[in-house]
């Protein structure tokens, strides 16, 4: 279907329409609101499927459709959308997950008063994310990026009557804004140097060879290539959105939102937007002989992967653990992009999207079943009470940890580690990645152990026994579990379909590649790491899980300072409070003082002067002008009263006067002529 590209704009527009319509609905129209959101997303999904299959059959690597937004004197601002394998696979993933999660929300949000508003915001998010994916212009991408940020803010603060939720929404918005400013600067800089923000435009786009050559040749301060500087600014935007160190602080707090939101936005799609941005801008970031920006991407990713995984070990909130795990996995994706290119990072993005949304929805199901309890220390024994949730959660957990061969996370993480091992600059990212994998398996074991095994929840102090969630929630879980397992087979070393799909080649099945010596060693290594972590985790935590009431965390007992440090998230929030926020407060106080004293003084002086002038004016008016005017009026009144004597209304007197006048006139005539 060659004309499909012309209709691709419908993919984000349908959810946008649903959001607009949903915003106008009354609160009681719950069915219609949900129907609109789900219907629009289903249509978008069908269109995305069509787009995806067209990229499979027609091997044109990239199609785009550009149009002029507006003209300014000599510049033309163009927007456009595009279809390439990267877009197609993201479209498939986003629409499919959004659809599944919308359906799940029917159950999870069933008793919420603001059900209608929820679906309106979710559709708005879908529109923004899909627009971001198909954008062929950094400007359009940025617009959708902000739209996504806005809907994220609205949804984190969905239960705004909770102060924590309102604060988390603000924190998320402001923290990502820091990255966005850098992105905006990078965008403006790119525009000033390349003259266009279109990615691909028949050789004139900013990601095409001619423009890249110019950017690489241009130098800026300290001998840094222009392309590197712009890439770093754009990457800063991705750092904010994807929760990389040091702007990761908002993501765990974002878990104050409803769980489907956490699953869709803060695990599977929106936070992946940063990774997608880096993948989209990859030609620019990797341009030149020494792509320094790419090394920054790698290091930030690697550090984040381990950093967040370490924090996750000491958290007790079921959603926060997965949130830190998300940060850590996003770090892996960035590292994958840095060391191995688009295909490696994006593959992990896709597999992660499935198993992480599965984990979040599973966690939501657990919370739903435990009547709002989120503390894993107070759960237990859910394996018997919630068998469906347990089975699917276990699949997601094993995919996240990278259990060998049958779970998707294994293959995608393996690809990243393989690329990191061959990275020419340093081997540290590889070791950081392996350490992160170990920590991931360890904390996930801890979580599953405490939530699903051990004595049931009542023994841990819960109010009512847990129950399994309704089918509208478990069926999406089952669907996601299937994908969490199967998605991995799209990119095994034996059949690297994903890699060749993105690069426009045909994948070949070579079973032997699996047994090539370096590959085999890597597979064995990750298997070993996961196995040891599982065994260790089980040994440490299973004993506590069966206790009632539970003792303190074994890690806390053996290594109190370390646990304390991890539980408090390395005190990053406190560090920011002590530095950035205090600086900001001081600055605000200073501005406040300026405002109150200096500017207000100036304003007061001006107003005083005006008032004085007005007083003088008034005195002049009252004594001078008014007096003269009053005098004139009095004269008129007097004259009038004299003249009114003549106008007495007696016609006969008029007649007499007339007669007298004629007589006098006659006499004058007679004497005059004589």
Residues that bind another protein (CB under 8 A): 640, 643-652, 655-656, 659
Minimum Å gap between C-beta 671 and another protein is 19
CB–CB of 439/307 below 8 Å? no
Minimum Å gap between C-beta 603 and another protein is 57
Instruction: Considering the complex, state which of residue 46 and residue 660 has its C-beta at the smaller distance from another protein.
Output: 660
Minimum Å gap between C-beta 673 and another protein is 18
Minimum Å gap between C-beta 672 and another protein is 21
Rounded Cα gap, residues 651 and 636, in angstroms: 26
Contacts of 80 (CB under 8 A, 6+ apart): 64, 65, 66, 67, 135, 136, 137, 140, 198, 201
What would the two tokens of residue 73 be? 């004197």
Rounded Cα gap, residues 86 and 80, in angstroms: 16
Instruction: Considering the complex, state which of residue 582 and residue 637 has its C-beta at the smaller distance from another protein.
Output: 637
Minimum Å gap between C-beta 624 and another protein is 33
Instruction: Considering the complex, state which of residue 467 and residue 656 has its C-beta at the smaller distance from another protein.
Output: 656
Minimum Å gap between C-beta 657 and another protein is 10
CB–CB of 455/546 below 8 Å? yes
Q: What is the CA radius of gyration of the chain?
A: 36
Minimum Å gap between C-beta 646 and another protein is 7
Rounded Cα gap, residues 284 and 183, in angstroms: 14
Instruction: Considering the complex, state which of residue 594 and residue 661 has its C-beta at the smaller distance from another protein.
Output: 661
Instruction: Considering the complex, state which of residue 607 and residue 639 has its C-beta at the smaller distance from another protein.
Output: 639
Minimum Å gap between C-beta 661 and another protein is 13
CB–CB of 394/382 below 8 Å? no
Contacts of 448 (CB under 8 A, 6+ apart): 393, 394, 397
Rounded Cα gap, residues 449 and 544, in angstroms: 9
Q: What are phi and psi of 260, to 5 degrees?
A: -60, -35
Residue of 100, 80, 83, 85 whose CA lies nearest to 38: 100
Instruction: Considering the complex, state which of residue 509 and residue 654 has its C-beta at the smaller distance from another protein.
Output: 654
Instruction: Considering the complex, state which of residue 290 and residue 656 has its C-beta at the smaller distance from another protein.
Output: 656
Rounded Cα gap, residues 412 and 418, in angstroms: 10
Q: What are phi and psi of 81, to 5 degrees?
A: -125, 165
The Cβ of residue 144 has, within 10 Å, a number of other Cβ atoms equal to 21
Instruction: Considering the complex, state which of residue 632 and residue 659 has its C-beta at the smaller distance from another protein.
Output: 659
Query: 428 pairs with which residues across the strands?
Result: none
Instruction: Considering the complex, state which of residue 606 and residue 655 has its C-beta at the smaller distance from another protein.
Output: 655
State how far the alpha carbon of 153 is from the alpha carbons of 114, 168, 581, in Å: 16, 9, 20
Minimum Å gap between C-beta 633 and another protein is 18
Instruction: Considering the complex, state which of residue 192 and residue 652 has its C-beta at the smaller distance from another protein.
Output: 652
CB–CB of 216/227 below 8 Å? yes
Minimum Å gap between C-beta 643 and another protein is 7
DSSP state of 514: G
Length of the chain: 674
Rounded Cα gap, residues 84 and 402, in angstroms: 29
Rounded Cα gap, residues 161 and 157, in angstroms: 8
């Amino acid at each position: 279907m060659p004309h499909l590209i012309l209709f691709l704009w419908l993919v984000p527009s349908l959810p946008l329409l649903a959001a607009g319509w949903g915003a106008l609905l009354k609160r009681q129209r719950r069915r219609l609101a949900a129907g609109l959101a789900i219907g629009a997303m289903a249509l978008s999904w069908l269109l995305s499927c069509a787009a995806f299959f067209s990229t499979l059959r027609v091997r044109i690597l990239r199609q785009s459709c550009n149009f002029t937004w507006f003209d300014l004197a000599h510049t033309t601002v163009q927007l456009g959308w595009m279809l390439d394998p990267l877009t197609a696979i993201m479209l498939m993933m986003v629409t499919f997950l959004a659809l599944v999660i919308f359906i799940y929300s029917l159950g999870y949000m069933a008793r919420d008063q603001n059900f209608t508003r929820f679906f309106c915001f979710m559709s708005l998010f879908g529109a923004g994310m899909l627009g971001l994916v198909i954008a062929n212009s950094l400007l359009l991408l940025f617009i959708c990026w902000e739209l996504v940020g806005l809907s994220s803010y609205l949804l984190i603060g969905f239960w705004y009557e909770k102060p924590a939720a309102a604060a988390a929404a603000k924190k998320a918005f402001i923290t990502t804004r820091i990255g966005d400013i850098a992105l905006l600067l990078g965008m403006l800089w790119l525009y000033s140097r390349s003259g266009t923000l279109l990615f691909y435009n028949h050789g004139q786009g900013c990601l095409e060879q001619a423009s890249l050559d110019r950017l690489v040749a241009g130098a800026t301060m300290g001998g840094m290539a222009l392309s590197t500087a712009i890439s770093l600014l754009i990457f800063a935007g991705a750092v904010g959105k994807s929760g990389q160190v040091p702007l990761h602080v908002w993501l765990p707090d974002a878990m104050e939102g409803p769980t489907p939101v956490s699953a869709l936005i803060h695990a599977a799609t929106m936070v992946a937007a940063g990774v997608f941005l880096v993948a989209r801008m990859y030609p620019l970031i990797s341009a030149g002989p020494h792509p320094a920006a790419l090394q920054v991407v790698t290091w930030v990713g690697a550090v984040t992967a381990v950093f967040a995984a370490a924090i996750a070990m000491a958290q007790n909130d079921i959603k926060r653990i997965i949130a830190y795990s998300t940060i850590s996995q996003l770090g892996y994706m960035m590292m994958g992009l840095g060391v191995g290119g688009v295909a490696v990072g994006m593959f992990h993005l896709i597999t992660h999207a499935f198993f992480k949304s599965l984990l979040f929805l599973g966690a939501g199901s657990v919370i739903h079943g435990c009547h709002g309890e989120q503390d894993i220390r107070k759960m237990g024994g859910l394996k018997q009470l919630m068998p469906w949730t347990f089975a699917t959660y276990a699949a997601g957990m094993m995919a996240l940890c990278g259990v060998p061969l049958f779970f998707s996370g294994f293959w995608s993480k393996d690809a990243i580690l393989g690329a990191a091992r061959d990275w020419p600059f340093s081997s540290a990212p590889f070791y950081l990645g392996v350490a992160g994998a170990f920590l991931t398996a360890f904390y996930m074991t801890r979580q599953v152990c405490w939530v699903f095994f051990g004595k049931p929840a009542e023994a841990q102090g819960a109010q009512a026994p847990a129950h399994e969630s309704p089918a509208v929630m478990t069926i999406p879980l089952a669907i996601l579990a299937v994908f969490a397992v199967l998605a991995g087979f799209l990119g095994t070393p034996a059949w690297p379909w994903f890699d060749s799909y993105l690069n426009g080649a045909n994948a070949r099945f070579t079973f032997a590649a699996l047994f090539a010596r370096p590959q085999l060693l890597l597979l064995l290594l990750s298997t070993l790491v996961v196995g040891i972590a599982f065994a260790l985790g089980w040994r440490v935590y299973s004993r506590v899980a069966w206790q009632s009431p539970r003792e303190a965390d074994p890690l806390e007992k053996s290594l109190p300072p370390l646990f304390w440090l991890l539980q408090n998230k390395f005190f990053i929030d406190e560090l920011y409070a002590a530095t950035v926020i205090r600086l900001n407060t001081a600055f605000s106080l200073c501005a406040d003082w300026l405002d109150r004293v200096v500017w207000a003084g100036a304003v007061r002086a001006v107003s005083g002067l005006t008032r004085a002038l007005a007083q003088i004016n008034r005195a002049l008016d009252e004594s001078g002008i008014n007096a003269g005017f009053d005098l004139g009026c009095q004269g008129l009144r007097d004259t009038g009263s004299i003249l009114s004597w003549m106008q007495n209304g007696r016609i006969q007197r008029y007649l007499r006067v007339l007669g007298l006048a004629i007589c006098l006139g006659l006499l004058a005539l007679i004497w005059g002529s004589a």
